[in-house]
Amino acid sequence: MKGDVELIEVTRGGRVESVHRGHIAICDGAGRIVEAWGAPETVVFPRSSCKMIQALPLIESGAADAFGLGSEQLALACASHSGAPYQTGPIGKWLAELGLTDDAYRCGKQAPDDDETNRAMIRAGEAPCRIHHTCSGKHTGFLTLARHLGAGPEYNDPDHPVQTAFLQTFEELTDEKSEGFGIDGCSAPNFTTSLQGLARAAATFATARQRGDSRSKAQTRIIEAMMAHPHLISGHGTSCTELMRLAQGKAAIKRGADGMYVAILPDLGLGIAIKMSDGADRGRNAVIANLLDRFGVLPKGAAAEHWTAPPVHNADGIETGQIRPAPAFLG
């Protein structure tokens, strides 16, 4: 990608074997860039890293209160879950309370990312359903909003009231006119913005506690739900869940496919947006961990170092190298 920089390097035998390049934008509550690597003006598809924005109309419309949604359901509306029972169970209950079945979802069927759940389903001869899709929590939120608005079932249509409500909110928070959209992995439209715009939107969440308007209160509900239920956001052992656990209420973070990550730091009033040029999880996870560590969000010790500078092991358990920040990043 044009203007990207080396952020993460991977070593073998003491030598750099490969690098991960990308862009980072960090904004304050006024939308100003306080630090950046690469080209923060780069236009991106935020993918699932913007789910907290997609969930905002659920609250602002009055749907969340009308349907009695609690913090678990708000967290699941922001989730890219692993398809484990502790995630699909409450989503299924929520769907049933709407009087709907799996067929109401417009996302595809997906085998659970949670290995234990996937193996158990294979042994039982069970086929994956749409509720196992990593975005089914978000889609249950879409269905709830559609019901509240009295809108039709094709909530993934870009012209549907659910999506137009999201786009309006998205453009207001990014303070940018979106250049268009692509179809995401869950078949919903994913609208573009610059990386700076995405960081600017994240910063509005980070500073929401400092304001008293209705939008800020809704944003606070969302980030508090995410931080209260990190296990629902992605799943045990994943970067989103484990880094939020380590942060202990100091950060709400959300990964997105193809190298996207967003972090919201309420105590510092900062929003962070990351795009890795190669779309690799390995680089993306190391970048967000190192940024959280740099801002004092993570505790010192081996638990954080597992994410900031993880060793690379081969199939026999031999340490062959390390994933670490490149000299141009945090040098």
**pLDDT, tens digit, for every residue of 11-44?**
999 999 999 999 999 999 999 999 999 999 999 9
- Give tens-digit pLDDT for 61-87: 999 999 999 999 999 999 999 999 999
- Check if the beta carbon of residue 35 is closer than 8 Å to that of residue 189: no
Give strand pairing partners of 81.
none
Average pLDDT, the chain: 97
pLDDT single digits (tens) 86-137: 999 999 999 999 999 999 999 999 999 999 999 999 999 999 999 999 999 9
Residue 299 confidence (pLDDT): 96
CB contact set of 289 (below 8 Å; sequence gap of 6+): 239, 243, 298, 304, 307, 308
DSSP state of 4: -
The dihedrals phi and psi of 109, each to the nearest 5 degrees, come to -85, 140
> So what's the pLDDT on residue 109?
97
Q: Which residues pair with 26 in a beta bridge?
A: 35, 272
CB-based contact 31:175 (threshold 8 Å): yes
Which of 37, 310, 309, 64 lies closest to 195 in space, CA to CA? Answer: 37
Does residue 1 surpass a pLDDT of 90?
no
In the block, tokens 């573009």 appear at: 192
- 286, 272, 284, 231: which is closest to 78 by C-alpha? 231
For residue 248, the model assigns a pLDDT of: 97
What local confidence, expressed as pLDDT, does residue 330 receive? 83
The answer to whether 94 touches 70, Cβ cutoff 8 Å, is no
Q: Which residue has the tokens 């094709």?
A: 154
Grade residue 143 by pLDDT with cuts at 50, 70 and 90.
very high
> Is the confidence at residue 263, as pLDDT, over 90?
yes
- The CA distance from 93 to 140, in Å, is 10
Closest CA to 294 of 261, 265, 262, 322: 265
Neighbours of 270 (CB within 10 A): 23
Helix (H, G, I), strand (E, B) or coil at 156: coil
Of all residues in the chain, the percent with pLDDT exceeding 70 is 100
- Burial group, residue 237, by CB count within 10 angstroms (0-12, 13-18, 19+): exposed
What sign does the CA torsion over 290, 210, 227, 51 have?
negative
Taking a C-beta distance cutoff of 8 angstroms, is the pair 10, 16 a contact? yes
Q: E strands of 77-183, at which residues?
A: 181-183
d(CA 102, CA 11): 45
Which two structure tokens, joined as six digits, stand for 128?
A: 């994956």
Domain boundaries, the chain: 47-272
Confidence of residue 170 (pLDDT cuts 50, 70, 90): very high
Kindly report the backbone phi and psi dihedral angles of residue 189, in degrees, each rounded to the nearest multiple of 5, phi listed first.
Answer: -70, 140
Q: Is the pTM of this model over 0.85?
A: yes
The pLDDT tens digits of the residues spanning 246-261 come to: 999 999 999 999 999 9
The amino acid occupying position 161 is: P
Residue 228 pLDDT: 98
DSSP 181: E
